[in-house]
């Protein structure tokens, strides 16, 4: 069943890709110009929502409670910044890659190279997160352990990305969006109906349990309290300060991630860049406002399946349901009957808790099985998760490979290479990126969404500040921009590596991932916002003591600020 549904959806994407390509090869680069902002918004939403949003986020929220809201606010609030601070102006500028803008605005090849490095660091980290999600999905559906699932996932991502161009086709992404949103909301609706009798999860989460006067969230708080956990609705993530910084980091990271920004380079008009961001957020919000319902209901179902709905009626290990058996095979779920009574007790106390391992990233995929939904729903969720992970991974890999082949080789080091060599270089770069990300994915620094959050921190600290100053500060010069990017990325990487290990290899961390060593109690995933502040400050300071940018750059900035005179996007090759 799973294979059938996953296979059908893949056939659909490839079919659309072939159909759309046949009719539009002629104007491949301006294809975006014919696309309505609503359709572009839907495609952007598919591009943007990855394994982190689909597979991982609700699982993390299920265990973080209120603290998990930082993902919800952080990954949507960035679109407000994008629509007001970047998208319309970058669209007016009319180039295709982010390093290209930085190179031109700061009249410097060095700035362009530094931007490429920032882009690669952030994107590779992002791909590690996708690999984790893909590994989880494949390990479950092929009934393998996680590492083997990851190897198969790497192979499929490689084929998918090398098929190439596919992700650039808006219609494929619209289809992916439909599969993804359908796969996410259908089980949520079923579960919400079963628990509360309200079919809309956004409302169900705030409703009473079916056949009772008790609100679902109060019931969840009570159930968690009974087994020794903190209340779901008030459990903060480490501290309010940490949540504040983490949320900010995700927001500005969203606005600084190159694969999102370039979506707005190809809309027909400056005006459309603004509204397209709004439409993208509408389609994203459908999933993001459903996620909290999925999270809370999944947590409640999990506890009640194991501890019994009234508590005390614990699950008999030998009679465990098939979803437990299946996930045990992946090594991502583990139970241990510590007191030898043949039953499994779940509690907050590590001494007596017998649900010894629940990888957060399995929650969304396991959720329909835990709730006992029909097989086709379970298969649909698998297809949706893979659609989300593959489309984003392919998009990021294309961004990485084009940064290397287009910006670095063609743009700076080897301007004489022909298009064929450029293409070959980009394929090789892509293969390397997959191997590197896959290798690091064997021991990911965090759950998928946490790893992706690190990527956002890196983008926030390096790319967003220079883009914003490039538009809003006419006097920002190349010295300031380069120093700012280097300082912002450097500070963030240093902080992340000292706690998470160099290149995320935990044994090389020299300060340990220990809260008492954290700066003001801010966790490494959240540090991008601090890196961004450093970036702004260093850039401002350096620009004050070095020569102002030449006149033509100041005119260029004035020109970017007004919509009038925007032409179509121009490719410089």
Partner 1 sequence: MSKNQNYWQANMRLIAFCLSIWFVVSFLFGIILVDVLNSVSLGGYKLGFWFANQGSIYVFVALIFFYANRMGKLDREHDVHEDKDD
Residue among 455, 540, 446 at smallest CA distance from 492: 455
Which of 50, 53, 56, 76 is the binder for partner 1 (CB under 8 A)?
76
Of 100-108, 132-140, 216-224, 313-321, which segment contacts partner 1 by CB under 8 A? 216-224
> How near is the Cβ of 480 to partner 1 at its closest, in Å?
21
Find the binding residues for partner 1 in span 540-559 (CB under 8 A): 558
CA distances, 238 to each of 75, 221, 447, 490 (Å): 19, 18, 17, 25
Burial of 514 (0-12, 13-18, 19+ CB in 10 A): exposed
> How near is the Cβ of 270 to partner 1 at its closest, in Å?
6
Q: Is residue 249 involved in binding partner 1 (CB under 8 A)?
A: no
Q: Is residue 274 involved in binding partner 1 (CB under 8 A)?
A: yes
> How near is the Cβ of 232 to partner 1 at its closest, in Å?
9
Residue 253 burial (CB count, 10 A):
31
# of chain residues touching partner 1 (CB under 8 A): 50
Q: Which are the contacts of 388, defined by CB distance < 8 A and separation ≥ 6?
A: 46, 49, 50, 51, 53, 54, 55, 133, 176, 180
> How near is the Cβ of 157 to partner 1 at its closest, in Å?
30
When the beta carbons of 108 and 266 are compared against partner 1, the nearer one is 266
Which of 134, 243, 403, 452 is the binder for partner 1 (CB under 8 A)?
243
Q: How many separate helices (H) and strands (E) can be counted in the chain?
A: 23, 4
Q: Are 444 and 504 in contact (CB under 8 A)?
A: yes
Q: Which are the contacts of 456, defined by CB distance < 8 A and separation ≥ 6?
A: 74, 122, 249, 250, 253, 254, 256, 257, 528
Of 18-26, 81-89, 375-383, 531-539, which segment contacts partner 1 by CB under 8 A? 81-89
Binding mask 168-197 for partner 1 (x = CB under 8 A): ------------------------------
When the beta carbons of 278 and 548 are compared against partner 1, the nearer one is 278
Instruction: Tokens 């005006």: give the residue.
Output: 271
Which of 275, 347, 421, 473 is the binder for partner 1 (CB under 8 A)?
275
Which of 181, 224, 248, 306 is the binder for partner 1 (CB under 8 A)?
248
> How near is the Cβ of 61 to partner 1 at its closest, in Å?
9
CA distances, 161 to each of 47, 153, 154, 428 (Å): 13, 12, 10, 12
> How near is the Cβ of 202 to partner 1 at its closest, in Å?
6
Query: Which residues on neighbouring strands pair with residue 357, listed in sequence order?
Result: 334
Q: Is residue 562 involved in binding partner 1 (CB under 8 A)?
A: yes
H/E segment holding residue 136: helix 109-141
Q: Which residues bind partner 1 (CB under 8 A)?
A: 66, 69, 72-73, 76-77, 79-81, 83-85, 88, 202-203, 205-208, 215-218, 233-234, 240, 243-244, 247-248, 269-271, 274-275, 277-278, 281-282, 285, 288-289, 292, 558, 561-566
């Amino acid at each position: 069943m799973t294979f059938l549904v996953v296979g059908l959806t893949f056939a659909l994407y490839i079919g659309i890709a072939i159909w759309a390509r046949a009719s539009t090869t002629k104007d491949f680069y301006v294809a975006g110009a014919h696309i309505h902002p609503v359709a572009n918004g839907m495609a952007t939403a598919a591009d943007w929502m990855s394994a982190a949003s689909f597979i991982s986020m609700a699982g993390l929220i299920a265990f973080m409670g209120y603290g998990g809201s930082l993902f919800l606010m952080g990954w949507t609030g960035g679109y407000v910044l994008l629509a007001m601070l970047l998208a319309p102006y970058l669209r007016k500028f009319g180039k295709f890659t982010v390093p290209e803008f930085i190179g031109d605005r700061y009249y410097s090849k060095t700035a362009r190279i530094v931007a490429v490095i920032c882009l690669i660091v952030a994107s590779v980290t992002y791909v590690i997160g996708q690999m984790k999600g893909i590994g989880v999905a494949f390990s479950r559906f092929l009934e393998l352990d996680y590492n083997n699932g990851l190897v198969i996932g790497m192979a499929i991502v490689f084929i998918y990305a090398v098929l190439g161009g596919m992700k650039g086709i808006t219609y494929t992404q619209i289809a992916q969006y439909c599969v993804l949103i359908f796969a996410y909301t259908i089980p949520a609706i079923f579960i919400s109906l079963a628990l509360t009798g309200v079919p809309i999860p956004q409302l169900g989460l705030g409703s009473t349990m079916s056949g009772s006067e008790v609100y679902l969230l109060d019931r969840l708080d009570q159930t968690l309290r009974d087994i020794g956990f903190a209340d779901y609705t008030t459990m903060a993530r480490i501290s309010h300060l940490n949540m504040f910084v983490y949320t900010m980091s995700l927001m500005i990271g969203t606005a600084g991630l190159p694969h999102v920004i370039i979506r707005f380079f190809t809309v027909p008009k400056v005006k459309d860049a603004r509204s397209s961001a709004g439409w993208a957020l509408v389609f994203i919000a459908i999933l993001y406002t459903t996620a909290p319902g999925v999270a809370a209901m999944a947590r409640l179902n999990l506890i009640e399946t194991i501890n019994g709905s009234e508590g005390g009626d614990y699950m008999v290990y030998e009679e465990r349901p098939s979803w437990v058996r299946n996930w045990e095979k992946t090594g991502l779920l583990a139970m241990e009957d510590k007191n030898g009574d043949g039953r499994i007790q779940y509690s907050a106390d590590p001494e007596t808790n017998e649900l010894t391992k629940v990888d957060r990233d399995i929650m969304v995929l396991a959720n329909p099985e835990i709730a006992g939904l029909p097989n086709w729903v379970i298969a649909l969720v698998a297809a949706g998760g893979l659609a989300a992970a593959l489309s984003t991974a392919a998009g990021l890999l294309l961004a990485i490979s084009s940064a290397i082949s287009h910006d670095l080789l063609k743009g700076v080091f080897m301007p004489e290479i022909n298009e064929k060599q450029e293409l070959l270089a980009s394929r090789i770069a892509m293969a390397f990126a997959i191997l590197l990300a896959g290798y690091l994915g064997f021991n990911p620094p965090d759950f998928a969404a946490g790893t992706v959050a690190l990527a956002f921190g890196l983008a926030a600290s390096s790319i967003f500040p220079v883009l914003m100053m490039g538009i809003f500060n006419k006097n920002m010069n190349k010295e300031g921009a380069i120093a700012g990017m280097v300082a912002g990325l450097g500070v963030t990487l240093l902080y992340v590596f000292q706690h998470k290990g160099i290149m995320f290899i935990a044994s090389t961390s020299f300060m340990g991932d220990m809260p008492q060593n954290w700066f003001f109690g801010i966790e490494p995933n959240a540090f991008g916002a601090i890196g961004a502040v450093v970036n702004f400050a260093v850039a401002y300071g350096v620009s004050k003591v070095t020569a102002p940018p030449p006149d033509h750059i100041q005119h260029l900035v004035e020109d970017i600020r007004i919509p009038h005179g925007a032409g179509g996007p121009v490719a410089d090759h």
